[in-house]
A and B are shown apart, each in its own frame.
Chain A
Amino acid sequence: MNQSIDRLNDVLTTKGLKAYYLVKTLRGGTAAMVHAVDDVSITVHEGEIMGIAGESGCGKSTLAKALYGWVNPPLQIVDGSILYHTGNETIDILQVDADRLRQIWWNVVSYIPQSSMNVLNPTMRIKDQFLNVIKTHKKDYEKEEAEATIVKHIDELGLPREVTTSFPHQLSGGMRQRVVIALATVLDCNVVIADEPTTALDVIVQRGILQLLRKIQRKLNCTIVTITHDMGVHAQIADRVAVMYAGKIVELGPVQKVFGDAQNPYTRFLISSLPKVGDKSKKGSIGGKPPSLVRPPRGCRFSPRCPYVMEICRTTEPGYEEIDTDHFASCHLLG
């Protein structure tokens, strides 16, 4: 597999990552092995917003958990590494112990979950929750210094100061989600992983969240990885987009290329099937359904549904090639 050489300003690299779910029967044998992330290699450049797109069951949420180092049974890393380059050192987040992991969390990489209600404690004021987080993840904690950090951070992100003295239920849903984002970034981390940050939010609130993510990238110089099935979100904020299908990355490139001139058939169909206000042309669907990740098909995983399928697609997996600067795609039709 051809890959670009790790550049000095890459902040996150995965090489040949294989993360499977080993579903055991009640008696201890293996009932099924779900190939959720199957040989994924991506590099994330410093300061960019990388979008990971794909539909349900493509493995993107598993990839998110793995990137964050949150690997619990039945999820197992079968192969590969996930490297964070912090400038001083390179850390493989899959090899560290629990204590080191706690240090890495919030300081090197942070995670924004889908629903704010999973994160905020309804019985504590926002400020106290911030202090809690800082105390847990920062080595030398001093209350006054922490309080100053909190205020500065809130101001920087453009959130009103009254937020810190409120309880979660006093805030609107959109404000809560923004507080969670502020919470995740309070310790100046290098990478933020946002897992479906705007799903199930109203469209007006969604815009506020996306604005905030862009602001974070600019002001705090963070690198953001957004994982979502919503292509509109990627179009609005991503610099590069990786498209996943059945556990594999089928295309990765600059957002304009992926949307305007996709090279992989699945990506092309996905983009062209998106309805848009003002566009009354008939849109089609790709027939069939995504393959089972338990027994993925031989050869190209999209071959059962691909209208351009050739004999070779059914027997051999296509290689993941760099077809243009920083634009990778996987398809037998190319090159």
Chain B
Amino acid sequence: MKELTDSAILKIDNITKIFKLGGLFFGSELAAVDHVSLDVGREKVLSLVGESGSGKTTLSRIILGMIEPTSGRILYEDLDITKLKGRELRRFRKEVQPIFQNPFETFNPFKKVDRYLLGSALSFEIAGSKSEAKKRVSESLDIVDLSYNVVEDKYPHEFSGGELQRVSIARALVTNPRLLIADEPVSMIDASTRMSILNILMGLKRKFDMSIVYITHDLDTAYYVSDQIAVMCRGCVVECGDVEDVLTNPVHPYSQMLLKCLPEPDPEKRWKDQIELAGLEVKEYETAGCKFSKRCPSADKKCLENRPPDTELESKSGYRFVKCWKCAREGV
């Protein structure tokens, strides 16, 4: 994929992750992430969107260093994430922080949550003493609209889901990170509190020049929060670009299908036609060609057998790619 030159804080370069399933002799291989290259722009929010099995969570864990990729590399600023040790690893941990999906799993149910926040401040030498750490933690909590005495000495179960997720974000902010990796941060949060958390995330970009990778299956929140979007299908990025372009005018048949199936919360816009669904279990991972070809209405023999190339499309920002034979042919 074309690079955004040095306005990218994170460069994902041809990352592949293959999981071996089954036993010693008769196992099979599964490419959860299949030759993915992406750039995360500075002070931008990039959404990684896909259904279950698309590889978006695996990719996020590779970025965070929790899983080792089978091949490829990831560059954070000038560091190669896959080869970090010692002081560089500490710098990476300080500057790249995660936010996980389930706030009640993020924290140990037997531990008071402020210990994580204070611990962060002290471990990464943001603060020299407990009182300094408290001050820093208060600032963090302030960003997410919580006060220290509301959080002090409390166990995770004493919070509601929305509150605890905010504590989780505050924890990530203690070290003043440059890049946040947010894995489905609002999927488990009630609809009425969801937007305040998303607004917080968007505010971080503006106020602190942070970049965010937002992973979700929900196209509506992806549209709301992000600047750029990458749509993943079975381990491959099939379309990426500015969120306005990709979601209001999708080019790849899979993106089009996703948007078609989105239940609009507006009774005036009900679905008129029917769609066909796969019947028996579809083995989409093992395709040599395009991952979506078995379900694609416009697929032909070439699509089934050959991996499509990345076609660049015209766009305002110069960042729009599609992985599709049909689009390559027609030069949309």
Q: Evaluate contact between B278 and A175: CB separation under 8 angstroms.
A: yes
18 of the cross-chain contacts (CB-CB < 8 Å) are: A171-B281, A203-B219, A203-B263, A204-B261, A211-B274, A211-B275, A233-B263, A235-B263, A235-B266, A236-B264, A236-B267, A255-B267, A260-B268, A273-B194, A275-B195, A276-B265, A283-B199, A286-B192
Q: Evaluate contact between A276 and B264: CB separation under 8 angstroms.
A: yes
Q: Which residues of A contact B23 (CB under 8 A)?
A: none
7 tightest A-B contacts by CB? A232-B263, A285-B196, A55-B190, A208-B277, A202-B51, A275-B224, A207-B261
Q: Check B262 for interface membership: any CB of A closer than 8 A.
A: yes
Q: Which of A258-295 contact B (CB under 8 A)?
A: 259-260, 269-271, 273-280, 282-287, 289-290
Q: Check B191 for interface membership: any CB of A closer than 8 A.
A: yes
Take A285-B199, A289-B162 as given contacts and tell me if A202 and B217 are in contact as well, using a CB distance cutoff of 8 Å. Answer: yes
Q: Which residues of A contact B261 (CB under 8 A)?
A: 203-204, 206-207
Q: Which of B242-267 contact A (CB under 8 A)?
A: 247-248, 257-267
Report the tally of A-B residue pairs with Cβ distances under 8 A. Answer: 150
Q: Check A170 for interface membership: any CB of B closer than 8 A.
A: yes
Q: Which residues of B contact A274 (CB under 8 A)?
A: 191, 220, 265
Q: Evaluate contact between A203 and B161: CB separation under 8 angstroms.
A: no
Closest chain B residue, CB of each to CB of A283 = B195
Q: Check A4 for interface membership: any CB of B closer than 8 A.
A: no
Q: Check B271 for interface membership: any CB of A closer than 8 A.
A: yes
Which of A70-78, A115-123, A160-168 has 4 or more CB atoms under 8 Å from chain B? A160-168
Question: What is the minimal beta-carbon distance from B332 to any residue of chain A, in angstroms?
Answer: 20
Question: What is the minimal beta-carbon distance from B214 to any residue of chain A, in angstroms?
Answer: 13
Q: Which residues of A contact B224 (CB under 8 A)?
A: 275, 279-280, 283
Take A171-B280, A233-B263, A275-B223 as given contacts and tell me if A285 and B194 are in contact as well, using a CB distance cutoff of 8 Å. Answer: yes
Q: Which residues of A contact B220 (CB under 8 A)?
A: 274-277
- What 1/0 mask marks residues of chain A from 164 to 202 whose CB sits below 8 Å from any chain B CB? 001001111011001000000000000000000000001
Take A207-B261, A207-B263 as given contacts and tell me if A236 and B271 are in contact as well, using a CB distance cutoff of 8 Å. Answer: yes
Q: Evaluate contact between B281 and A277: CB separation under 8 angstroms.
A: no
Cross-interface CB contact of B277 among A56, A174, A276, A282, cutoff 8 Å: A174
Q: Evaluate contact between A273 and B264: CB separation under 8 angstroms.
A: no
Take A202-B51, A236-B270, A259-B266 as given contacts and tell me if A278 and B199 are in contact as well, using a CB distance cutoff of 8 Å. Answer: no
Q: Which residues of A contact B258 (CB under 8 A)?
A: 203-204
- What 1/0 mask marks residues of chain A from 204 to 217 whose CB sits below 8 Å from any chain B CB? 11111011000000
Q: Evaluate contact between B217 and A289: CB separation under 8 angstroms.
A: no
Q: Evaluate contact between B163 and A289: CB separation under 8 angstroms.
A: yes
Q: Check B52 for interface membership: any CB of A closer than 8 A.
A: yes
- What 1/0 mask marks residues of chain B from 63 to 78 whose CB sits below 8 Å from any chain A CB? 0000000000000000
Q: Evaluate contact between B279 and A207: CB separation under 8 angstroms.
A: no
Summarize B's interface: helix, strand, loop or mixed.
helix
Chain B contacts to A: CB under 8 angstroms: 51-52, 160-163, 190-199, 217, 219-221, 223-224, 247-248, 257-271, 274-275, 277-282
Take A163-B279, A170-B281 as given contacts and tell me if A273 and B191 are in contact as well, using a CB distance cutoff of 8 Å. Answer: yes
Closest chain A residue, CB of each to CB of B54 = A202
Question: What is the minimal beta-carbon distance from A262 to any residue of chain B, in angstroms?
Answer: 12
Q: Evaluate contact between A172 and B278: CB separation under 8 angstroms.
A: yes
Q: Which of A172, A204, A205, A210 is most buried by chain B, counting CB atoms within 10 A of its CB?
A: A204
Q: Which of A227-252 contact B (CB under 8 A)?
A: 229-236
Question: What is the minimal beta-carbon distance from B169 to any residue of chain A, in angstroms?
Answer: 14
Bound together, the chains give a CA A229 to CA B197 distance in angstroms of 18
Closest chain B residue, CB of each to CB of A205 = B277
Take A229-B191, A273-B192, A283-B195 as given contacts and tell me if A206 and B263 are in contact as well, using a CB distance cutoff of 8 Å. Answer: yes
Bound together, the chains give a CA A25 to CA B162 distance in angstroms of 29
Q: Which residues of A contact B221 (CB under 8 A)?
A: 275
Q: Evaluate contact between A277 and B274: CB separation under 8 angstroms.
A: no
